[in-house]
Structure 1
Amino acid sequence: MKIALIAPAWHDPLWESEKEKSIFPPLNLITLAALTPPRHEVTILDESLTDIDYNAKYDLVGISAMTALAPRAYEIADAFRAKGTTVVLGGMHPSALPEEASAHADAVVVGEAEGLWQQLLSDLEDGKLKPVYRPEERPSLEHMVHPRRDLLNRDRYLVPDTVQTTRGCPFACSFCTVSRFFGKSFRFRPVEDVIQEVAELEGEVIAFIDDNIVGHPGYARRLFTELARLPRKIKWFSQGSLNIARDEDLLRLAAASGCIGLFIGFESLSPGNLKAVGKAVNRVEEYREAIKRIHDHGIAIEGAFVFGLDEDDESVFEQTVKFAQENRLEAAQFGILTPFPGTPLRETMEREGRITCNDWREYTISKVVFEPKNMSARTLQEGFNWAWQEFYSLGSISRRLGLVKKHAPILWALNLNIRKRFYHFLERIRTGNFTLPRPSLAK
């Protein structure tokens, strides 16, 4: 069979890629390609970088989508089905709402694809395709296939080498989809399997696409030790929790293994907010010292903060930006609280009647789709806009990064790129080419 695996493009100017280059390749799709028996011909279509030819002849089209990309995924699916092509949908959003996705697909894969994908292909060849495929248990990560990176144009990605070492997250934050999709406990790849895959990569910089690479300190310690022993020195970054700052030995090993940066979810400066969303493991009183310890090992931090939690009022924006600037975070991601399907947060907000918009295109964490408790929706949106604008002002970038900080050229390039994206976001709003949801009219 001829199979096309498609990653829909973002159309939010804050997140969309330029046609010339994207940041990461679609690791999920090249992993699916590796799970596909070699008798089938697989094409990867990353819509961020290429236009989709709906007249191309495929026996099967597979599309993966997060919530904000679901409407675009459905458009693509409908267009191919109109041509008589069989379409399969999977990923975070179809897994959360398989009945909705089924209206646009011949089959929906719920959850992780290992095992299910091979069965689906066999059923399709036998003319026995089922409408929904669900796993009986979560797949083991032992002997995972190595993704089909040969199907990518490496030059089109800023960081073409991405690797996954773990799945699952024990924190189960109420607003996060990860624990619903991957489970609330960690599963690990054998360290030797990870090292073998890393040794085969071409680039010097690797992104470990883990939700919390230090979530199990013992595993992380073994992984970092073996990475440090590689004959070819690498640089890597990933997502991690602040818990790493409580373990000096683990920090030292991370730095020695090539860690140059961590994306860390601070979420809030309010202990009450953290407790309410299920992340009391974050201790606000330890934030400053934790940041210092991580910085002392030469590891940059991109901090993630959520605006619109129930204890937030209009003072939260200035307090959060000031904190991030004073602690010289190399980058920050500010997001608006978003009640994604399948999360406890959405269930709570539905009971309370606070969701004001169900257009999935607006679920980009850059738009207000619910009624906040202690400020208006407009104040939340404007505060979000101000936070990005202030944190990525040239003066703020200069004060945070200077010229002598480790990896300064890379960090300056990152900040200027984010700044460019945000101003594109504002310009699209100003010119009317991009609109924000109006909660008062969406009820």
Structure 2
Amino acid sequence: MQDRKNFKSIFLVKLPMCSHPDSIGSDSFRTKNPFRPGPSLALPVLRAFLEKYKTYDYKIKAVDLNLEAYTEPGIPVDTSVYPNLLAGVIKNNDYDVLAISIMFVFNVRWVDDIVKLSRKLHPEAKIMIGGGYPTLFPERCLLKHDIDDAIIGEGEATFLHILNKYNNHRDVEFDKKFPHGSYATKNEKGEVNVIKGEYHLIDLADLPMPAWDYINIEGYFKRSGDKVLPIEGSRGCPYRCSYCTSFIFCGPRIRYKPVENLINEILEIKERYKDIKTLRFIDDNLSFSKDWIKDFLTKIINLKLPLKLEIQNFSVKHLDEEIVRLLIEAGTHTFTIAVESGSPEMQKRINKNLNFNLVRDAVKMMKSHDVHIHVCWMIGFPGETLEQINETFNFARELKANSNQFVTVLPYPGTQLFDEAKKANLLVFSEDDLDKFDNRRCDYVKSDQWNYDQLQKIIYDANIEMNFLNNPSLKTPAGRDKLLSFFIDNELLLSIPDHIILYLVIGYIYKQKNCYAEYEKHYNKAKELFKDEKLAETFSKYLSWDNPIIKDYNQFLSKFQ
């Protein structure tokens, strides 16, 4: 048996990023979301950092539970299997320290499961946690769960500091180079103390290449059908939108990896994983520095790699013709911009302060390059009126993006938005109910003009209208072909196989292409799905809409009457 006075064997576990089956309840079709997770970048980064900078004999192993549930390419994960998978990895692994990585606050029930099981089977092991939940609720993490330490914010250096603390190991050089960040810990009486670390953000030049060898990447590619890995070129955002937590996690300034380091990382990944097709950048705003992004894109283009770079998140303040052309040449064909609100007043109140003419010009410029434009929107801000909400939908209609994401506002602790809502007595929030800490389920803001059930219905109607029935891509043959590819080649139909309107749009496109067998096949599938009471409850209302696709489908149905 291992000497438990030494905490050398580290087991790093990424918890499922989906809702726990016990918390889902009777979600309506509108709030359900197919789950197809990708690999976590946090685990290989932490593992590589520990291996590079440790001066104690630590042995680390890691598992990303999200990937363990894939069984068939293109099919959403059955999230009901995760409790057994979680139990299996705790039962079948021995360790001195359990290090938990948790992405979202609403994943909290997975924390309950893993901590209770670990305390039962490995009672002498230390437990620490990092990620979104402990960063926003550090004290709660330790009070509600039997956890020893909770890392706040950026975690690499603090992770190793805490491990060294467990072993009474002092590394003077490491402490000097990487002052520890903030974390919550328990004293001998079980009282929680938040240790305020020095304000220090890691120089990304000091990060080693992520250690992807902890998982069977080829097995993940085969079982999921996705040949994609995440990557980052920067951290942080200099803007202070009132709703955003980026500054809490990554600081108030943007930091870049040296271009040569990033290029070498890409070359290493491509050399090791021959079948990889796409690298997906997770950065908040990679194009903030024009000099950096030009240097990176020019060098990666010159390498002529058979690899797609999926760089999606952009501010319209940092996009111009030159950068868009370089991005397209590097393999980026989807551009995501966050406008959030179409109300000039709300833009000021949330510190977004976008110039709508700049937004219009950026969208027009991107459309001229025939790329896929995805726009993110939020409704339900504290004090927002229905008129202002409608301004958002009207601006979305004006922009005519290829796809839109509409979500309700989620006030995060530590943000200006949360503090303002609390001060105005518009916040209905309890730390005892974090299952709803999710844009699809939260109801934390009070309003005398709307409620959350109403907002969810409005959002779903807007989704059906702008992403499906009135999608601007439907207007041209080339646009319809791209939309069909987006729906089928990207396996959207496999991900949401009960989405009746999706079948109608696909059937309609096939009819325009004179592919009548496929047209009838998809219309008949929709007809069969309408026999399901819950699906009919969600989708029947749209059969009364004045829309060419709906008219065509109703005419199709008339043959059976």
- The reply to whether TM is greater than 0.5 is yes
Q: CA 1:262–1:417 in 2, change beyond 3 Å: closer, same or farther? A: farther
Cα distance, 1:406 vs. partner? 8.7
Counterpart check, 1:188 vs 2:260: no
SS at match of 1:393: helix
Mapping for residues 34-183 of structure 1, pairs under 5 Å = 34-37=48-51, 39-47=58-66, 49-50=68-69, 51-52=85-86, 53=88, 54-56=90-92, 57-65=94-102, 66-83=104-121, 84=123, 85-103=125-143, 104=145, 105-126=147-168, 131=186, 135-136=197-198, 137-152=200-215, 153=217, 154-155=220-221, 156-157=223-224, 158=226, 160-183=228-251
SS at match of 2:486: helix
Matching residue within 269, 276, 279 for 2:352: 279
For 2:196 and 2:211, locate their aligned partners in 1 and report how far apart those are by CA, in whole Å.
Answer: 24
Counterpart check, 1:363 vs 2:399: no
Is the contact between residue 39 and residue 66 of structure 2 (CA under 8 Å) also seen in structure 1? no
SS at match of 2:51: coil
Letter of the 1:262 counterpart: F
Cα distance, 1:29 vs. partner? 1.7
Cα distance, 1:352 vs. partner? 1.8
Unaligned runs of 5+ in 2: 1-8, 53-57, 70-84, 171-183, 187-193, 271-275, 501-529, 536-561
Q: CA 1:406–1:61 in 2, change beyond 3 Å: closer, same or farther? A: farther
Counterpart check, 1:385 vs 2:385: no
Counterpart check, 1:7 vs 2:47: no
Matching residue within 192, 207, 225 for 2:298: 225
Is the contact between residue 141 and residue 189 of structure 1 (CA under 8 Å) also seen in structure 2? yes
Q: CA 1:126–1:430 in 2, change beyond 3 Å: closer, same or farther? A: farther
Matching residue within 334, 338, 351 for 1:261: 334
Is the contact between residue 309 and residue 337 of structure 1 (CA under 8 Å) also seen in structure 2? yes
User: 1:297 maps to which residue?
Assistant: 369
Which whole-Å deviations, capped at 9, do the CAs of 1:188-240 have from their partners, x for residues lacking one?
Answer: 11011111111222323211110111122222222222221223143222211
Letter of the 1:162 counterpart: P
Is the contact between residue 241 and residue 264 of structure 1 (CA under 8 Å) also seen in structure 2? yes
Deviates more, 1:40-49 or 1:329-338: 40-49
Cα distance, 1:62 vs. partner? 1.8
Unaligned runs of 5+ in 1: 432-443
Name the structure where helix makes up a greater proportion of residues. 2
Q: CA 1:174–1:317 in 2, change beyond 3 Å: closer, same or farther? A: closer
Mapping for residues 16-35 of structure 1, pairs under 5 Å = 18=35, 22-35=36-49
For 1:421 and 1:313, locate their aligned partners in 2 and report how far apart those are by CA, in whole Å.
Answer: 35
TM-score, L = length of structure 1: 0.84
Is the contact between residue 316 and residue 358 of structure 2 (CA under 8 Å) also seen in structure 1? no
Cα distance, 1:328 vs. partner? 3.8
Is the contact between residue 159 and residue 205 of structure 1 (CA under 8 Å) also seen in structure 2? yes
Q: CA 1:333–1:177 in 2, change beyond 3 Å: closer, same or farther? A: same
Letter of the 1:93 counterpart: Y
Is the contact between residue 12 and residue 101 of structure 2 (CA under 8 Å) also seen in structure 1? no
SS at match of 2:243: coil
Aligned CA-pair RMSD: 3.3
Which whole-Å deviations, capped at 9, do the CAs of 1:264-317 have from their partners, x for residues lacking one?
Answer: 10101111111111110x212332321121122343222100011356444566
Cα distance, 1:112 vs. partner? 1.0
Cα distance, 1:399 vs. partner? 2.2
For 2:368 and 2:398, locate their aligned partners in 1 and report how far apart those are by CA, in whole Å.
Answer: 16
Q: CA 1:390–1:86 in 2, change beyond 3 Å: closer, same or farther? A: farther
User: 2:381 maps to which residue?
Assistant: 309
Deviates more, 1:46-55 or 1:214-223: 46-55
Q: CA 1:429–1:321 in 2, change beyond 3 Å: closer, same or farther? A: farther
For 1:410 and 1:210, locate their aligned partners in 2 and report how far apart those are by CA, in whole Å.
Answer: 26
SS at match of 2:252: coil
For 2:283 and 2:359, locate their aligned partners in 1 and report how far apart those are by CA, in whole Å.
Answer: 22
Letter of the 1:8 counterpart: P
For 2:417 and 2:41, locate their aligned partners in 1 and report how far apart those are by CA, in whole Å.
Answer: 28
SS at match of 1:69: helix
TM-score, L = length of structure 2: 0.68
Counterpart check, 1:354 vs 2:430: no
Is the contact between residue 7 and residue 26 of structure 1 (CA under 8 Å) also seen in structure 2? no
For 1:135 and 1:429, locate their aligned partners in 2 and report how far apart those are by CA, in whole Å.
Answer: 55
For 1:176 and 1:417, locate their aligned partners in 2 and report how far apart those are by CA, in whole Å.
Answer: 32
Q: CA 1:395–1:360 in 2, change beyond 3 Å: closer, same or farther? A: same
Letter of the 1:218 counterpart: D
Letter of the 2:336 counterpart: F
SS at match of 1:365: coil
User: 1:434 maps to which residue?
Assistant: none
For 1:357 and 1:86, locate their aligned partners in 2 and report how far apart those are by CA, in whole Å.
Answer: 31
Name the count of aligned residue pairs.
424
User: 1:288 maps to which residue?
Assistant: 360
Counterpart check, 1:336 vs 2:393: no
Is the contact between residue 34 and residue 496 of structure 2 (CA under 8 Å) also seen in structure 1? no
For 2:245 and 2:386, locate their aligned partners in 1 and report how far apart those are by CA, in whole Å.
Answer: 27
Is the contact between residue 473 and residue 482 of structure 2 (CA under 8 Å) also seen in structure 1? no
Cα distance, 1:86 vs. partner? 2.3
**Larger Rg, first or second structure (1 or 2):** 2
User: 1:438 maps to which residue?
Assistant: none
Cα distance, 1:394 vs. partner? 5.1
Is the contact between residue 153 and residue 248 of structure 2 (CA under 8 Å) also seen in structure 1? no
Is the contact between residue 9 and residue 16 of structure 1 (CA under 8 Å) also seen in structure 2? no
Cα distance, 1:47 vs. partner? 3.7
Is the contact between residue 393 and residue 419 of structure 1 (CA under 8 Å) also seen in structure 2? no
